[in-house]
Structure 1
Amino acid sequence: MKKGLLDILKGKFLVSGDAPKNWLFIIFASFLAAVMISSSHSADKKVHRIAALNEEVKELRSEFVDARSDVQRLKLESTITGTVAAKELYPSENPPKKIMVKSLNDAK
């Protein structure tokens, strides 16, 4: 046990007769570690991108709500009446009347 551990620490397994098999395993393990690290970095980038996009969505949603409230305020009858009153246009005193037209098909 002590000799095997000492051989590993000295690196004799890399220069012994079956060293190519050991080197292939070390290269394969190194490749897998590189792939794992790359995958982890990619996942972290995506998490940060998602967080940034969520913040942007919140900002755009608040902008939308502000704009919608402004438009609703501008559509109010009192606002429109005040705007056209400045141009000397006033609402009618008489309410509008609905005109009904009967077509020939309805008369039958």
Structure 2
Amino acid sequence: MKNGFVAILKGKFLVSGDAPKNWLFLIFASFLATVMIASSHSADRKVHRLAALNEQVKELRSEFVDMRSDVQRLKLESTIRLTVAEKGLLPSETPPQKIKVKSEHP
């Protein structure tokens, strides 16, 4: 067992008679390790991008809620009265009258 471990550490399996088979396996294992590392980095990038996009969605949703409340406040009758009063328009003191038109259909 000790001799086999020492032989692996010295790299004798790379120069022995069946070395090409060992080299092919090492190249294949290196390729798989490279693919695995690249895949891991790609997944990490996607996770970070997803977190950034979720943060942006939260900010935009908050901005939407703020803008909606501002619009609702601006649509109030009291706000409209103040705005048009600055321009010299005042509400009518007499209520509107309904006009009825009688049409005769032959």
Q: 2:27 and 2:98 mapped to 1: Cα distance?
A: 88
Q: What is the TM-score when the length of structure 2 is the normalising length?
A: 0.87
Q: Deviations over 1:57-88 (max 9, x none)?
A: 11111111111111110000000011111111
- 1:90-105, aligned counterparts within 5 Å? 90-97=90-97
Matching residue's letter, 1:80 = I
Q: 1:103 and 1:14 mapped to 2: Cα distance?
A: 108
Corresponding residue number in structure 2 for 1:8: 8
Q: How many residues of Structure 1 are paired with residues of Structure 2 in the alignment?
A: 106
Q: What is the TM-score when the length of structure 1 is the normalising length?
A: 0.85
Matching residue's letter, 2:62 = S
- 1:1-108, aligned counterparts within 5 Å? 1-97=1-97
Structure 1 segments unaligned to the other structure (5+ residues): none
Q: 2:64 and 2:2 mapped to 1: Cα distance?
A: 72
Structure 2 segments unaligned to the other structure (5+ residues): none
Q: Deviations over 1:30-66 (max 9, x none)?
A: 0000110111111111111111111111111111111
Q: 1:44 and 1:31 mapped to 2: Cα distance?
A: 20
